[in-house]
């Protein structure tokens, strides 16, 4: 019998340590190659590690909650009692190659939950692709919204049923050459008013939600018309409302809690919080920040967003003012490329592509995923990419590659009810824009004071790279698109 030790791999570029969160196996368990054995937390994400060996768990070398450096052995596996049909334990050199291959796949894989119509996890697609190293198996396209259940027995047939005949006509039924069985109970059962057989596609579907769900939606600021229901009868559930809610509504306290019994909590500085602290200190005290602010009439943007939501082309896609903000920044970058740069001590690298980052508040802390090559995406593709990354971030399944190589960032503090702010640059970037809340305010239009939807944009720039004139032109360009989205047609 031989034994092999599995060292903690580098699941992302530059990873130095990780915390053991959950062991999925214990000493004495039989494991197969690619079976998930442990979940670790890196500086930015939760990652599931598969076993590169087949055999029996001899010992867990690291306890849950312990942080270890990359290369530290975390589990020992013996080749005895391997599960039936499992490959033989690889030689040390092959094992190391398998471990590196597993780490590479872990770093590049994003796990998304996919459920079937009955709410149960969908089975992995049997596409012959073989074993996978992370997640729950090979899956196809993940639908971001779920279809409303098809009309069942409630649908009204295209031709009137005999039961719908007036009660006075019922006695004539026995004289018919072919009696209609459904007409028999008609005299004793009142016929309900006929309902339309279908709802035209141009009309909005009726909202089905219980009063507590409607109250929750009101508290969270959610429009129920925008929520895709997942209930078995087509009703909107509590999870549907929370999923649709903005980040501010999702993570705020709906009720004020009681004071805890303990006098204080001590939270270890590790994982996401440690990474955030290091990045913000490095950015604030390395890059000389300069801030600019501008008030913007966003009435036409709000009208544009409303039209997009009603468009069949955007059915099932989350549309918000932040989407228009993203497109506005990409458009403004093309006119002012210096704001899309990276500073090094030797040179300034001006990027002719946009990896568009956005700050996302999650239960584990602030993360900044970015949409790769956003400049080549249509409005619809950009909306889908942002929504997919947001859901992945909230599930804690972002991979290091999702947050690497960003070129410019937006932070949507408006969802928290904030008018504006002075954001800190995402390390490695030279520009960041804060989108404030959009609300009605008095605004002068053609010499008259009228109620308009107004927002405030705040931006920070690295003054080593971006001069005041470039920063001003860039923010003015962003504001001009928010005021008139038709500029995006240019």
Distance CA 374, CA 405 (A): 13
pLDDT confidence of residue 320:
92
pLDDT confidence of residue 80:
61
pLDDT confidence of residue 231:
82
Statement to judge: residues 365 and 461 lie in one domain: yes
Distance CA 287, CA 285 (A): 6
172: how many CB neighbours lie within 10 A of its CB? 10
CA atoms within 13 A of residue 180's CA, in its CB half-sphere: 16
Statement to judge: residues 217 and 281 lie in one domain: no
Statement to judge: residues 240 and 357 lie in one domain: no
| Residue 42 resides in a domain | yes
| Residue 389 resides in a domain | yes
| Residue 164 resides in a domain | no
Tokens describing residue 251: 């993570």
Residue at which a domain ends, from 108, 143, 172? 108
| Residue 16 resides in a domain | yes
| Residue 223 resides in a domain | yes
Render pLDDT for 451-483 as a digit per residue (tens, 0 to 9).
Answer: 999 999 999 999 999 999 999 999 999 999 999
For 55, the domain range is 3-108
pLDDT confidence of residue 12:
65
Statement to judge: residues 309 and 458 lie in one domain: yes
CATH of the domain at 68: 2.40.50.100
Statement to judge: residues 356 and 213 lie in one domain: no
Q: Which of 434, 432, 433, 436 is nearest to 414 (CA)?
A: 436
Q: Which contiguous run of DSSP H or E holds residue 169?
A: none
Render pLDDT for 352-384 as a digit per residue (tens, 0 to 9).
Answer: 999 999 998 887 778 899 999 999 999 999 999
Report, as ranges of residue numbers, the positions in the chain whose pLDDT lies below 70: 1, 12-14, 43-44, 80-205, 246-255, 490
Does the annotation count 141 as an active-site position?
Answer: no
Residues 138 and 125 sit within 8 Å (Cβ to Cβ):
yes
pLDDT confidence of residue 268:
84
| Residue 128 resides in a domain | no
| Residue 149 resides in a domain | no
Statement to judge: residues 233 and 292 lie in one domain: no
Statement to judge: residues 332 and 470 lie in one domain: yes
Statement to judge: residues 285 and 403 lie in one domain: yes
Statement to judge: residues 302 and 397 lie in one domain: yes
Residue at which a domain ends, from 65, 85, 108? 108
Distance (Å) of CA 240 to CA 206, 357, 459: 16, 26, 34
pLDDT confidence of residue 184:
47
How is residue 89 annotated by DSSP?
P
Statement to judge: residues 478 and 365 lie in one domain: yes
Statement to judge: residues 286 and 226 lie in one domain: no
Statement to judge: residues 236 and 312 lie in one domain: no
CATH of the domain at 214: 4.10.320.10
Distance CA 445, CA 192 (A): 54
Residue at which a domain ends, from 83, 108, 133? 108
pLDDT confidence of residue 225:
83
Q: List the catalytic residue out of 24, 112, 351, 463.
A: 463
Count of structural domains, the chain: 3
CATH of the domain at 301: 3.30.559.10
Distance CA 67, CA 72 (A): 10
Residues 273 and 22 sit within 8 Å (Cβ to Cβ):
no
Q: Which contiguous run of DSSP H or E holds residue 50?
A: strand 46-50
| Residue 144 resides in a domain | no
């Amino acid at each position: 019998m031989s034994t092999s030790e599995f060292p903690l791999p580098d699941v992302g570029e530059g990873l130095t340590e990780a915390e053991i969160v959950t062991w999925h196996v214990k000493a004495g368990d039989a494991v197969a190659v690619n079976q998930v054995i442990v979940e670790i937390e890196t500086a930015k994400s939760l990652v599931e590690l598969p076993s590169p060996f087949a055999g029996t768990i001899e010992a867990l070398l690291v306890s849950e909650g312990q942080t270890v450096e990359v290369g530290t052995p975390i589990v020992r596996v013996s080749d005895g009692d391997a599960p039936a049909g499992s490959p033989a334990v690889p030689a040390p050199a092959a094992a190391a190659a398998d471990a590196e291959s597993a780490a590479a796949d872990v770093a590049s894989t994003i796990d998304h939950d996919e459920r079937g119509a009955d709410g149960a996890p969908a089975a992995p697609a049997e596409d012959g692709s073989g074993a996978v190293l992370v997640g729950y198996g090979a899956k196809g396209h993940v639908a971001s919204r779920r279809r409303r259940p098809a009309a069942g027995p409630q649908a009204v047939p295209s031709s009137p049923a005999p039961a719908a005949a007036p009660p006075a006509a019922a006695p004539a039924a026995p004289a018919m050459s072919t009696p209609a069985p459904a007409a028999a109970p008609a005299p004793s059962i009142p016929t309900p008013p006929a309902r339309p057989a279908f709802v035209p596609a141009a009309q909005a579907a009726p909202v089905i939600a219980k009063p507590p769900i409607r109250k929750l939606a009101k508290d969270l600021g959610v429009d129920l018309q925008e929520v895709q229901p997942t209930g078995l009868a087509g009703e909107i559930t509590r999870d549907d409302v929370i999923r649709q809610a903005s980040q501010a509504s999702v993570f705020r306290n709906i009720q004020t809690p009681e004071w805890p019994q303990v006098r204080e909590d001590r939270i270890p500085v590790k994982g996401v919080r440690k990474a955030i602290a290091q990045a913000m200190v490095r950015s604030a005290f390395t890059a000389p920040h300069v801030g600019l602010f501008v008030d913007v009439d966003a009435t036409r943007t709000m009208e544009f967003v409303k039209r997009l939501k009603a468009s069949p082309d955007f059915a099932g896609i989350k549309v918000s003012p932040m989407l228009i903000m993203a497109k506005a920044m990409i458009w403004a970058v093309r006119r002012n490329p210096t704001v899309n740069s990276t500073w090094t001590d030797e040179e300034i690298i001006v990027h002719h592509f946009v990896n568009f980052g956005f700050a996302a508040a999650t239960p584990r802390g602030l993360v900044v995923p970015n949409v790769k090559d956003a400049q080549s995406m249509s409005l619809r593709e950009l909306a889908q990419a942002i929504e997919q990354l947001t859901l992945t971030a909230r599930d804690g399944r972002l991979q290091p590659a999702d947050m690497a190589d960003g070129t410019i960032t937006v932070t949507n503090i408006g969802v928290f009810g904030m008018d504006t702010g002075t954001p800190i640059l995402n390390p490695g970037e030279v520009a960041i824009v804060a989108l404030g809340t959009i609300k009605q305010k008095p605004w002068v239009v053609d010499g008259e004071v009228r109620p308009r939807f107004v927002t405030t944009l705040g931006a920070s720039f690295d003054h080593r790279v971006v001069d005041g004139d470039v920063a001003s032109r860039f923010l003015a360009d962003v504001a001009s698109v928010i005021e008139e989205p038709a500029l995006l047609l240019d």
